[in-house]
Amino acid sequence: MSTGKHAKTPTNSGAGTRLTGAEIMWATLEGEGVSVVFGYPGGAILPAYDALRKFPIRHVLVRHEQGAAHAADGYARASGKVGVAIATSGPGATNLVTGIATAMLDSVPMVCITGQVSSKVLGTDAFQEVDITGITLPVTKHNYVVTRAEDVAKTIREAFLVARSGRPGPVLVDITKDAQQGLAEFDFAAAAPKPHRPHPMLKTESASILQAADLIRSAKKPVILAGHGIMQSSACQQVLTFAERMRIPVASTLLGLGAFPASHPLSLGMMGMHGEAWVNHAIQQADLLIACGMRFDDRVTGTLATYAPNAKKIHIEVDPAEINKNVKVDVALIGDLKEALEALLPHLPPKSTKHESAWLKEIESSKGEVAVRDIKNLPDSGHLYAAHVIHDLWRATEGKAIVVTDVGQHQMWEAQYYKHNEPRTLITSGGLGTMGFALPAAIGAKIACPDKEVWVVAGDGGFQMTAAELSTAAQEELDLNIAVVNNGYLGMVRQWQEFFYEKNYQSSPLRSPDFVKLAEAHGIRGTAVRKRPEVLPAVKEARGHKGPFVINFLVEKEDSVYPMIPAGSALHEMIRRPNRNPLVETADDK
């Protein structure tokens, strides 16, 4: 991506304009197309805050800097634009770190700006001085220290280029107080970054394209592995064309959900640790895997020794360091996914439907009874399961809401029961698995997409990690719906303890405040739901309500996510839901 199309002329710009570093900072952000930032002020960044009023940029005051980073992340994931978080030096900067690492592991484009002590006292352990570029070195794509006002514009512009180019990621710019206060000439255009250096390892050579096309044409049991990169590269249409033309079923990673419509007949669903049996079986049986913008993370491969043993592998990936990292591949197309698929498609004549049916039928038949995920008409056993909650939420929102999850069992249930048909509608921390992500990220997502319905789905544990951001949602008067899936446990930890630690529930039960009262204390409406018939009315009430709304779903305490592949096991060695569980019943509403 080039910066050119994002750039617009800032309020104060042009050769000969002299501004403070702080003013240059905002003017440059404006020029990069930024209209909202998430932040928290403090001494070392005060010059910047003082200058903010002169610029058409909205500042969302979070309640903890981790929230600022997650909000910027959620904003970026929902919009595809670069999210911006701002914090002061020292503790403000260190509070960003978890959010930066979360964005790094999921390749989210983000620019964090931190204040720093004056360059004259750098390195002296001055008040609130920390080496934030040192601390964030391994969790940023790149970072910078700026000590002079004249370097502010070009550094921020370069940071945006780095954040959004190639495999996107977070970039941190640490600006000393004197750089914010100093005067310099501001010329937005002249501060344009140099073009990115050519990357000699990026190559989708025509020989490899032909080789890939050969493999695809002759495959009998192919599977497309759809990852986050499809959204990053805006290649949803190309993947759809590819799958439909060649009649290839599509399995998704957690972060890939939504890139390929869940309701499409060729969609298999989520692969990996909590993927459905038939999805993982299809991968194990396949003779060809075409990995599109995914990185064979250990949560999706299980043990590598037995991963897809009969399959040739084609890896289409923008980051050369991912090639052959976990899984050895036969053909690598290294570069932008959309471009690679566009180069590939002309070599793929539409497949006759003869071969297709055998493989697709094989998968279909392996679904069997367990395929039933539609639980609308389940008899009401008096229990409220998280699956009910997610299922009803999906029905009520017609699968069109942006759902931002936290991390744990509820996250996996969301992935299993909410069918995402559109890209960027599931926002979740995959790589780092950061509890506390959901609420602040949803604030960012809602601000990015004010016309979209946004739901938080969080556990009782993770919700409490960043619940202070309820105040932010209230202050910003965001129309945000918050579903707390309250099972009284750090549920995913409890599940592992049940399966692998002889039910030694050490430190996993947790007592929570009354979330409805907590909401009310923030001036936010809330309601509790204990029974299945109460789910839809509560969801309806939340949807109709203007402003934030919290629903405390008091669900079955000791339910587990099935199926489950224990970490380090083979993809086909899964723990299945015990028999006669009320959640496995016959489908009704086809």
Partner 1 sequence: MLHTFVALVEDKPGVLTRVASLFRRLNINIVSLTVGHSERAGVSRMTIVCEASPTAGHRIAASLYKLENVLQVDDIGQLSHVARELALIKVAATPQTRSQVFELAEVFRARIVDLAPESLMIEITGVESKIEGLIQVLNEAGDRILEISRTGRMVMRRGQHTSKVLDAMRVPGVETIAEFQAEEDSAAPSDLLMAEETGL
Ligand X SMILES: Cc1ncc(C[n+]2csc(CCOP(=O)(O)OP(=O)(O)O)c2C)c(N)n1
**Catalytic residue of the set 8, 127, 220, 557:** 127
Range 133-136 contact pairs with CB under 8 angstroms and sequence separation of 24 or more: 133/172, 133/174, 135/93, 135/94, 135/97, 136/96, 136/97, 136/100, 136/172
Residue pair 496/560 in contact by the 8 Å Cβ criterion: no
Using the rule CB under 8 A, is 199 a contact of partner 1? yes
Q: How far is the CB of 323 from partner 1 (least distance, A)?
A: 7
285 is catalytic: no
Report whether 554 contacts 529 (CB < 8 A): yes
Smaller CB separation from ligand X, 80 or 433: 433
- Residue in 231, 492, 564, 574 annotated catalytic: 492
Active-site residue among 128, 181, 211, 475?
128
> For ligand X, which is the closer residue by CB, 226 or 439?
439
The residue whose Cβ lies closest to ligand X is 459
204 or 560, CB closer to partner 1? 204
Query: What are the start-end ranges of the H helices in 261-407?
Result: 277-285, 298-301, 337-344, 353-367, 386-397
The binder of Mg ion chosen from 83, 459, 526, 563 (CB under 5 A): 459
How far out from the chain centre does Cα 2 lie? Answer: 23
141 binds partner 1 (CB under 8 A): yes
Q: Does 335 bind ligand X (CB under 6 A)?
A: no
Quote the Cα angle for 266-369-353, to 5°: 30
The continuous run of DSSP H or E covering 207 comes out as helix 206-218
Query: Taking a C-beta distance cutoff of 8 angstroms, is the pair 45, 17 a contact?
Result: no
Looking at the DSSP assignment, which residues form a beta bridge with residue 317?
334
- Residue among 405, 487, 400 at smallest CA distance from 452: 400
Options 80-88, 138-146, 371-379, 451-459: segment touching partner 1 (CB under 8 A)? 138-146
- Min. distance of Cβ 296 from ligand X in angstroms? 21
Q: 20, 49 in Cβ contact below 8 A?
A: no
Listed in order, strand segments (DSSP E) in 107-241 are 110-116, 142-146, 170-176, 183-186, 222-226
Binding window for partner 1 (CB under 8 A); candidates: 30-38, 248-256, 316-324, 425-433:
316-324
Contact 344, 321 (CB under 8 A): no
Q: Is the dihedral of CA 412, 417, 421, 424 positive or negative?
A: negative
Q: Minimum distance from CB of 171 to partner 1 (Å)?
A: 9
Residue, CB closest to Mg ion? 459
Residue placing its CB nearer to Mg ion in the complex, 428 or 487: 487
Smallest gap from Cβ 390 to ligand X, in A, equals 11
Residue 564 bears catalytic tag? no
Does residue 133 interact with partner 1 by CB under 8 A? yes
What does 462 interact with, of ligand X, partner 1, Mg ion, none (CB < 5 to 8 A by kind)?
A: ligand X
Q: Please, what is the minimum distance in Å from the beta carbon of residue 3 to partner 1?
A: 15
Q: How far is the CB of 75 from ligand X (least distance, A)?
A: 21
Using CA atoms, how far apart are residues 380 and 367, in angstroms rounded to an integer?
25
CB of 69 to ligand X, least distance (A): 13
How far, in whole angstroms, is CA 421 from its chain's centroid?
A: 16
Phi-psi sector, 574: left (phi>0), alpha (psi -120 to 50), beta: beta
Among the listed residues 4, 16, 198, 533, the single contact to partner 1 using CB under 8 A: 198
**CA distance linking residue 176 with residue 122, whole number of Å:** 9
On the question of a cis peptide bond just before residue 563, with omega within 30 degrees of 0, the verdict is yes
CA 219 to chain centre: 32
493's contact among Mg ion, ligand X, partner 1, none, with CB below 5 to 8 A by partner kind, is: ligand X
Check 81, 141, 154, 177 and give the catalytic one. 177
Task: For residue 406, state whether it binds Mg ion (rule: CB under 5 A).
Answer: no
Closest to partner 1 by CB, 156 vs 279, is 156
- Name the region of 185 (left: φ>0; alpha: ψ -120 to 50; beta: rest): beta
Among 54, 203, 325, 577, binds partner 1 (CB under 8 A): 325
Tell me whether residue 46 or residue 202 sits nearer to partner 1 (CB atom): 202
CB half-sphere exposure, 272, CA atoms < 13 A: 22
Distance separating alpha carbons of residues 15 and 33, to the nearest angstrom: 20
Residue 99 binding partner per list Mg ion, partner 1, ligand X, none, with a CB distance cut-off of 5 to 8 Å that depends on partner kind: none
Smallest distance, partner 1 to C-beta of residue 473, A? 36
| Least gap, CB of 66 to Mg ion (angstroms) | 20
Cβ proximity to ligand X, 73 vs 151, nearer residue: 73
Positions 440 through 479 that interact with ligand X (CB under 6 A): 459-462
Exactly one of 4, 123, 138, 450 binds partner 1 (CB under 8 A); which one? Answer: 138
Specify whether the CB–CB gap between 298 and 281 falls below 8 A. no
Smaller CB separation from ligand X, 7 or 492: 492
User: Closest distance between ligand X and the C-beta of residue 566, in Å?
Assistant: 15
DSSP 8-state symbol, 236: H
Write the interaction track for ligand X spanning residues 396-425; mark x where CB under 6 A is met and - where it is not: ----------xxxxx---------------
Residue 474's Cβ-count burial label (10 Å; 0-12, 13-18, 19+) is middle
Give yes or no: 273 in active site. Answer: no
Q: Does 319 bind partner 1 (CB under 8 A)?
A: yes
Q: Angle 164-173-334 (CA atoms, 0-180°, nearest 5)? A: 25
Beta carbon nearer to partner 1, 123 or 350: 123
Check if 54 is active-site: no
127 is catalytic: yes
Binding site for Mg ion (CB under 5 A): 459-461, 487, 489, 491
Catalytic residues: 65, 127-128, 177, 492
Binding site for partner 1 (CB under 8 A): 133-134, 137-138, 141-142, 162, 194, 197-201, 319-321, 323-325
Binding site for ligand X (CB under 6 A): 406-410, 433-436, 459-462, 485, 487, 489-493
